[in-house]
Amino acid sequence: MAELEDPHFAPAPPTERRRLSRRARITLGGGAAVAAVLAVNLGIDDGRDRYEQSIAGQSADGATKVVPGEASREQPWLGSPAATWANGEAGIVLPEARPVGVFSAEQVAEHLRTVRSFLLAANVDPATVKGGRPDRALALLTEPSRSYVDDWLARPTRDSDPALLFSRFDPQRAVPVTDTVKVKGELSFAEGRDGGLTVTTDHSFAYALFPGPEAGKARSSASPAGVVPAAFGNPVFQARVEREVVRRQLEFHFEDPATSGAGPGQTELGRIAASFANNVCEMGNGFLETDFGGTDQEIDTSGRMGDPYDRGTGDIGGAGSCVAVRGT
């Protein structure tokens, strides 16, 4: 296993039982998938307390104060930096529009609103987050992009997983504690190909969840070795609240409608990159699956420890190695 050399990471102890999560990147260009690079992260079960204490200790230096404590259904964001993040739509701030390429300032503003609508429909809409089909988001895509993503939804695999785009939790595995999704990120735009518009987004979405009736249960022959059923009858397990942090870096393209054939209010997908902190590693069924501690695997984690709330790490895609992730 290669070691990730990053100043934002601190050494982690070797070979412990970890919660798994994953990074992925894929690019759609002209409706075609042209690249896919996968990697994995590891989340540490007992890292949460140390992480909360370190965050709280930074408050004297002007950093956001986080009250340490165990998350509950009544206080799902307790102990998390996400407690200070904006709620839903308020976390997707649009820059002031200006003329770009063939588009006027008013048209650019409309395209920016389309991107925001997609992000909300894909990651914040309660119907989507609770496992529903993301039809509102699909309606905002051009036909080539929509066709590819429709195929992902119909036939999800590890390399063409709708979870790369949509935050959907299987209610049998994970249930949102609240409809509130915490959001933090940036959105920018620039002139794209042939005088078009490219919008680039980088947002983190935090979810608070409790176990569904099949949380931690092995998934037939597709399940990785070492996965064991969760303690379904254990009231402590059933009352557990975990947070999952999904970071998405996306590109949206708007081309000259006179030549592209795109409908009003529609966008073409470009680069897609995502990381999932506190999600099981074996993805590919179209849903996110929060790790509540029921998936025990012995994996060498002698690499470095990452911070799911650190948004200064730049590009989240690319070929990486397994690393430990501080508590969510």
pLDDT digits (tens, 9 = 90+) for 151-174: 999 999 988 899 999 999 999 999
- Mean pLDDT value across the chain: 75
Say what the pLDDT of residue 217 is. Answer: 78
pLDDT for 274-319, tens place per residue? 888 888 777 889 999 888 875 443 333 445 556 788 888 778 765 4
Q: Are 209 and 170 in contact (CB under 8 A)?
A: no
Specify whether the backbone of 256 is left (phi greater than 0), alpha (psi in -120 to 50) or beta. Answer: beta
Q: Is the pLDDT of residue 262 over 90?
A: no
- Residue 322's pLDDT band (boundaries 50, 70, 90)? very low
CA distance linking residue 316 with residue 2, whole number of Å: 17
Say what the pLDDT of residue 227 is. Answer: 43
Q: Is the pLDDT of residue 58 over 50?
A: no
Question: When comparing pLDDT for 234 and 16, which is higher?
Answer: 234
User: Where does residue 297 rank: exposed (0-12), middle (13-18), buried (19+ CB within 10 A)?
Assistant: middle
Give 306's strand partners.
Answer: 325
Q: Is the pLDDT of residue 255 over 70?
A: yes
Average of pLDDT values for 118-134?
Answer: 98
Q: Is the pLDDT of residue 257 over 60?
A: yes
- Which DSSP state fits 15? S
pTM: 0.78
Question: When comparing pLDDT for 314 and 99, which is higher?
Answer: 99
- Residue 326's pLDDT band (boundaries 50, 70, 90)? low
Say what the pLDDT of residue 243 is. Answer: 93
Dihedral in degrees, nearest 10, Cα atoms 292, 9, 68, 59 = -160
CA distance linking residue 122 with residue 168, whole number of Å: 8
- Residue 120's pLDDT band (boundaries 50, 70, 90)? very high
Burial string for 159-180 (b: 16+ CB within 10 Å, else e) reads ebbbbbbbbbbbeebbbbbeeb
- Residue 23's pLDDT band (boundaries 50, 70, 90)? low
Count CB atoms within 10 A of the CB of residue 235.
8
Lowest mean pLDDT among 2-11, 58-67, 107-116, 257-266: 2-11
pLDDT for 176-229, tens place per residue? 999 999 999 999 999 998 899 999 999 999 999 999 988 877 765 444 433 444
What is the identity of the amino acid at 128?
T
